[in-house]
Amino acid sequence: MDQKLEQTGSSSVDVHELNDRIHQQSAFIDLLTMELNKALVGQKHMVERLLIGLLTQGHVLLEGVPGLAKTLAIKSLASAINARFSRIQFTPDLLPADVIGTMIYNPQEHQFQVRRGPIFANFILADEINRAPAKVQSALLEAMQEKQVTIGDSTHKLEEPFLVLATQNPIEQEGTYSLPEAQVDRFLLKVVISYPKKEEEMLIIRQNLNPAGYPKINPVVSTKDILNGRQLVREVYMDEKIEKYILDIVFATRFPEEYRLAKLKPLIAYGGSPRASISLAHAAKAYAFIKRRGYVIPEDIRAVCHDVLRHRIGLTYEAEAENVTAEQIINEILNVVEVP
């Protein structure tokens, strides 16, 4: 790699200097990972994806059956960062005021005052998010997209870092509401959590039976470290060839016939939006940062591609009838699109 590389829209970048600087200043990621591993056995994929969301201001949707440590992972992350944490258990009778807050009349002062809801925290665990009705989803959508909430006639900014980490159970259908496409698209990543391996589950059993109790997560990173890390992630170098690779992948979800994938055309109802391209670039930069690297390589794109795109590809009835999944479509695209 040449020492000086030209980055589109900016002056030349000294990649070696940038790489050394990011390698030194990303050390807090190792601290954070080590602390999380005290409570979490296995689930390396989930931990990395939570860190990507943290470093890119991107919300994360975790999908998996109960008991796979989704809630534990999010609570542990908040504990390790010394940040304010709120858990909202979503139910069909939840109201927007239960999430964002409401106006309360103060009889002593003869005026209404704002009582803030649990959304005013750094980390929001939206547990079983698909159980909430549409009004609650729209209130949460404003917070996720605009980083603000509206109570009465006033708007309140949310404190950075602000991250919504939502969970949903794919098995239960009764008493659930499908998330609107506009809201699903606001999640940077949709991470599907799988069962642990047999040896990992053995460690989980032993950890839970330990007479000393569950390991305590200590704050090892400050919110300032996270905000500095976010700025560094934006500086990670992405070559124009990598940008074109991202565009080819996303455009293949929209126009598969132009990429020798005509067989996918009847299976895809709609492809990824421009937000998919942006999210893929952000996630790849954060993944490179986690790997202590100052530049993005094609393997970074492929590593995060499924989590970025699986909830952004709409499947037709024909695809569902043939049991074709978004994962299979992404695999086909990655196998065909030329790697730079």
List C-alpha distances in Å: 73 to 44, 46, 239: 11, 8, 34
- pLDDT at position 172 is 63
Q: How high does pLDDT run on average in the chain?
A: 85
Residues 39 and 90 in one domain: yes
For 4-8, 241-245, 289-293, 327-331, which range has the lowest pLDDT when averaged over its residues? 4-8
Contacts of 248 (CB under 8 A, 6+ apart): 259, 337, 338
Answer yes or no: are the C-beta atoms of 309 and 280 closer than 8 Å: yes
- pTM for this prediction: 0.86
- pLDDT at position 251 is 95
Contacts of 158 (CB under 8 A, 6+ apart): 119, 120, 143, 147, 148, 149
- pLDDT at position 11 is 41
Give the number of other Cβ atoms within 10 Å of residue 178's Cβ: 10
Average pLDDT over residues 68-97: 86
- Domain containing 245 equals 237-340
Residue 333, domain CATH = 1.10.8.80
Most confident of 113-117, 181-185, 225-229, 251-255: 251-255
Residues 153 and 50 in one domain: yes
For 33-42, 76-85, 167-176, 238-247, which range has the lowest pLDDT when averaged over its residues? 167-176
List C-alpha distances in Å: 216 to 36, 107, 253: 10, 44, 44
Q: Who wins on pLDDT, 212 or 237?
A: 237
Residues 293 and 201 in one domain: no
Residues 133 and 197 in one domain: yes
Residue 70, domain CATH = 3.40.50.300
Residues 31 and 179 in one domain: yes
In a domain, 13, yes or no: no
Residues 197 and 252 in one domain: no
- pLDDT at position 12 is 58
In a domain, 110, yes or no: yes
Residue 261 has pLDDT above 70, yes or no: yes
Average pLDDT over residues 220-238: 89
Domain boundary among 175, 210, 245: 210
> To the nearest 10°, the Cα dihedral for 75, 77, 78, 79?
90
- pLDDT at position 174 is 64
Radius of gyration for the alpha carbons in the chain, expressed in angstroms and rounded? 21
List alpha helices for 110-197, DSSP H. Answer: 134-146, 181-184
Domain count, the chain: 2
Residue 317 has pLDDT above 70, yes or no: yes
